[in-house]
Amino acid sequence: MASSEGNKLWGGRFVGNTDPIMEKFNASIAYDQRMWEADIKGSKAYVKALQKAGLVTQNEMEQILTGLDKVFDEWSKGEFKIKPGDEDIHTANERRLKEFIGDPAGKLHTGRSRNDQVATDMRLWLRDTINTLKELALQLISTMVERAAVEIEILCPGYTHMQRAQPIRWSHWILSHAVALSRDVERLEDIRKHVNVMPLGSFFHSPELNFDSISINSMDATGQRDFVGMYNHAANFTRHQDTIRFCFVCVLCVYFCENSTGSSLMPQKKNADSLELIRSKAGRVFGRCAGFLMTLKGLPSTYNKDLQEDKEAMFDTYDTVHAVLQVATGVISTLMVNQPAMERALSPDMLATDLAYLLVRKGMPFREAHSCAGKAVYIAESKNIHLSQITVEDLQTVSPLFDKDVSSVWDYNRSVEQYSAPGGTARSSVTAQIEHFRTWLQAQKQKP
């Protein structure tokens, strides 16, 4: 009896049918079909290498290239039909190629395992998507920078330990997230170097594929997925460390326009669903990362079928971060700053440090000045008044260095302007940060 498994890439030595449940459990076409373009791109380069090695003729190579172009065209137009026997994207494309050109299609797989193929496809796909995420991150950073430039005069409370701390510029706060996102861009660039390694040395120099280097060990090439783990891990920084913190504070201090929704019960509500959804995705991306790292834990060397879990984790992480970066950019573009609420949130107690600095400028050691300012805060609390309402006489009971010039402390703009060192929140410092980012963004756009 002829084997029913003979059409599979791994068929031939099997007799009978695979259990339908196992067939479905083993298949990956439902999700890895999105690598169709990378798979065809890799195969076109590979057949050229086969021709140079004398394993296919010039005519066979041309037939295969023409057939692959037809397969590409069907995918591009959404006309490719997946059949029940298409176990994965490689099987599907090779099956369709054979339908187009016949027997020469069978030579495409010469010297190349499906594990080599999937490792190559994943690297090609991930390399391109890293570029896409980088572009979106740069767009988000640019939006933040330009918003910071326009609204540089707006002041708001800075926060530490979830409490209002000192006055800062709203722009200074926006740029703190731009700085964090710029590290994510650099992290993506570093990961791209690890991704852009060719698993199949036989066509390393193919100009179509443009890999930077070659894997030096074939066993490691098919079995390692460090680059997927690094990618998922980096996504957690992009998602959780930066965007989530941004969303949390943004909910507190802005009005929302295009990226808000209403309540199904209360007509007056304007909900910041865009930011809340971004915040909620942290668990999803973290879960993908943790789950895949657990899959990798303790695997034997070379390829094991456990690694089929790599693609869903990679795809879902990309899709999530791709959406988050776009929505976050939309939020930054359309939100309306609630400047009156920000100004109302400023209070004289935030200037307690400035009170200490006044004494420092008069020669008092900071530790002693800090203690004096703390005593002033206590007096204000005891009298149930604002810190700025304490009389000079009461302040002089704390230190004789206090005088009428203490009135100069109760100025939020003056407070902010004293931090003029690089990285500070003074107007000149924030302007320098804006110009730094504009230069940095321009340099990023010029990179290949």
The CATH superfamily holding the domain 115-343 is Fumarase/aspartase (Central domain) (1.20.200.10)
Beta strands in 149-282 (DSSP E): 155-160, 163-169, 197-198, 213-214, 254-255
CA atoms within 13 A on the CB side of 293: 11
Report the alpha-carbon distance of residue 285 to residue 400 in Å, rounded.
Answer: 58
Between the CA of residue 142 and those of 182, 195, 238, 328, 437, what are the distances in Å?
Answer: 10, 26, 16, 12, 8
- And the tokens for 337? 């700053």
DSSP states along 76-106? HHT-----TT--SHHHHHHHHHHHHH-GGGG
Residue 385: per-residue pLDDT = 96
Angle between helices 273-296 and 309-334 (to 10 degrees): 160
Q: Residue 96 burial by CB count (10 A; 0-12/13-18/19+): exposed, middle or buried?
A: buried
Q: How far, in Å, CA of 343 to CA of 357, rounded? A: 23
Structure confidence at residue 254 (pLDDT): 46
Please report, for the chain, the start and end positions of each structural domain, with discontinuous segments joined by +: 20-112, 115-343, 348-417
The pairing of beta strand 213-214 with beta strand 254-255: unpaired
Buried b (16+ CB within 10 A) or exposed e, 331-347: bbbebebbbeebeebbe
Among the residues of 365-419, which ranges form H helices? 366-383, 392-398, 412-417
- Whose tokens are 């895949």? That residue is 292
At the topology level, CATH places domain 348-417 in: Ribonucleotide Reductase Protein R1; domain 1 (1.10.40)
What are the catalytic residues? Answer: 161, 263
Alpha-carbon distances of 394 from 141, 239, 348, rounded to whole Å: 48, 50, 16
What's the whole-model pTM score?
0.83
3-state SS class at 424: coil
Q: Nearest to residue 119, comparing CAs of 238, 11, 211?
A: 211
**Which two three-digit tokens encode residue 267?**
């007509």
Q: What is the pLDDT of residue 381?
A: 95
Residues in the chain, total: 448
* Helix, strand or coil, per DSSP, at residue 7: coil
Q: Amino acid identity of 279?
A: R
The DSSP secondary-structure symbol of 237 reads I
Q: Output the tens digit of pLDDT for each of the chain's 448 residues.
A: 333 444 555 455 444 555 677 667 767 888 889 999 999 999 999 999 899 989 999 999 999 999 999 999 999 999 999 998 898 899 999 999 999 999 999 999 888 888 888 888 989 999 999 999 999 999 999 999 999 999 999 999 998 888 888 999 999 999 999 998 999 899 889 889 888 888 876 555 567 788 888 888 888 788 778 787 787 777 776 544 555 555 545 544 444 455 555 545 555 455 667 777 777 777 777 777 777 777 777 777 777 777 777 788 888 888 888 988 898 898 888 888 888 988 899 999 999 999 999 999 999 999 999 999 999 999 999 999 999 999 999 999 999 999 999 999 999 999 999 999 999 999 999 999 999 999 999 999 888 7
Which alpha helices (H) appear in 239-334, and where do they start and end?
245-253, 273-296, 309-334
Write down the architecture of domain 20-112 according to CATH: Orthogonal Bundle (1.10)
Both structure tokens of 354: 């400035």
Q: Which residues pair with residue 136 across a beta bridge?
A: none
* 8 Å CB contact between 224 and 287: no
Strand 213-214 and strand 197-198: the pairing is: parallel
Separation CA 201–CA 111 (nearest Å): 11
Question: Which region, left, alpha or beta, applies to residue 302 given φ > 0 means left and ψ of -120 to 50 means alpha?
Answer: left
